[in-house]
Amino acid sequence: MNVDSHRVVVTGLGATTPLGGDVTSTWAAMLAGQSGITAIEEEWAASLPVRIAGRLKVEPSEVLDRVQVRRTDRCEQVALIAARQAWADAGTPDVDPERLAVVIGTGTGGAVTMLAQDDVLEASGVRKVSPHTVPMLMANGPAAMVSIELGARAGAHTPVSACASGAEAIALGLDLIRLGRADVVVAGGAEACVCPLPIAGFAQAKAHSTRNDEPARASRPFDVDRDGFVIGEGAAVVVLERADFAAARGARTHAALVGAAVTSDAYHITAAAAEGQVRAMRRAIAESGLAPQDIALVHAHATSTQIGDLAEAESVSEAIGLHPAVTATKSLTGHLFGAAGAVGALATVLAVRDGIVPATANLERLDPAVKLDVVAGAPRTGAVPAALTNAFGFGGHNVSLVFTR
């Protein structure tokens, strides 16, 4: 395949997360070690074994108009909010619509709508079901809504690869530009499924933390006392541009996206395989033209599960080594599933841009099996010339992205 290796830069950032309604507040909270994980106060959670989550800091209804909120699923809402921010941050590029693409990944799409409308159907019959149900529940809804918002006509794509979806969206955005199919790509991930069925399912699978009495301390990647992840919601979006296109319009750049790799384990539907993760990291680094020793920071997928954290620690050690600083921001945000990889990319870009690495919260006793240099206690300052971020998902999906200054 003849690939034109255009240099690709990040010119826009947007987010709405459990830490803040935008990038500035989310980043400030990360650096301050402020947790976005709280108790679920709604009555529906009272009988569940898990009653904690990373809920949005700012409700979409405070940002979007009333009609838009009524006609869109929460997953679509957070995607729109993050995309608008990223587009504005990029300076609203003047780009031919035929050269503008959107790639928004999600793990579950409009799960809240699907479950709620099924309840309506069962309780009140077909005439009470919303006519907007299908556009609200379909997984491609977030990408479609953003493409309509921006007038993007070079494609509206939706990777659905569980918790790797947001990172895979960014990897696909890189490919679209390098292959000459777009000059600008709005890429990221969105998820909003804090509702009974997903929580019950993860609880039954023993994957979710049950520290209901101490929400802020529940997510503890690499800590010896970790007992599972915490469900979260939100979105993060980046604007990717061909570097010469961005330079011609005088755009500011946050970082460069220099490498990406997508692999699959072909092993197990839920269990992680370090071998597949190693291949993703090695391929992303090789594609970037760097060597493993050039990677100064790894933003770990690190969800706070016993098996998953150890598999990643092993794979990072093998693929890169023990020299890079490692951080795990899910300790603060919770696990945003399809948006997680995009939030990880956001934190990585900001660390590269600002020369500061957020600390991993709740790391009180590092698991002795983890030999990595995990940043804990306080942020670590200093130049971050190159960084890698990981995102792994059920089904054996592995994505690694490499950013440089």
Catalytic one of 208, 254, 299, 301? 301
Active site (annotated) includes residue 132: no
163 included as an active-site residue: yes
Question: CB neighbours of 159 closer than 8 A, spacing ≥ 6?
Answer: 103, 105, 165, 168, 169, 172
Active site residue 335: yes
Report the DSSP beta bridge partners of residue 188. Answer: 104, 237
Q: Check: CB of residue 353 under 8 Å from CB of residue 257.
A: no
CA 106 – CA 237 distance, rounded (Å) = 12
391, 263 contact by CB (below 8 A): no
Q: Please tell me which residue in 163, 193, 195, 299 is annotated as part of the active site.
A: 163
Three-state SS sequence of the chain = CCCCCCCEEEEEEEEEECCECCHHHHHHHHHHCCCCEEECCCHHHCCCCCCEEECCCCCHHHCCCHHHHHHCCHHHHHHHHHHHHHHHHCCCCCCCHHHEEEEEECCCCCHHHHHHHHHHHHHHCHHHCCCCHHHHHCCCHHHHHHHHHHCCCCCEECCCCHHHHHHHHHHHHHHHHHCCCCCEEEEEEEECCCCHHHHHHHHHCCCECCCCCCHHHCCCCCECCCCCECEECEEEEEEEEEHHHHHHCCCCCCEEEEEEEEEECCCCCCCCCHHHHHHHHHHHHHHHCCCHHHCCEEECCCCCCHHHHHHHHHHHHHHCCCCCEEECCHHHHCECHHHHHHHHHHHHHHHHHHCEECCECCCCCECCCCCCEECECCCEECCCCEEEEEEEECCCEEEEEEEEC
- CA-to-CA distance for 361 and 24, rounded, in angstroms? 19
Catalytic residue among 157, 254, 335, 397: 335
Q: CB-based contacts of 171: which residues, under 8 Å, 6+ apart?
A: 260, 261, 262, 399, 401
Query: Which residues are known catalytic residues?
Result: 163, 301, 335
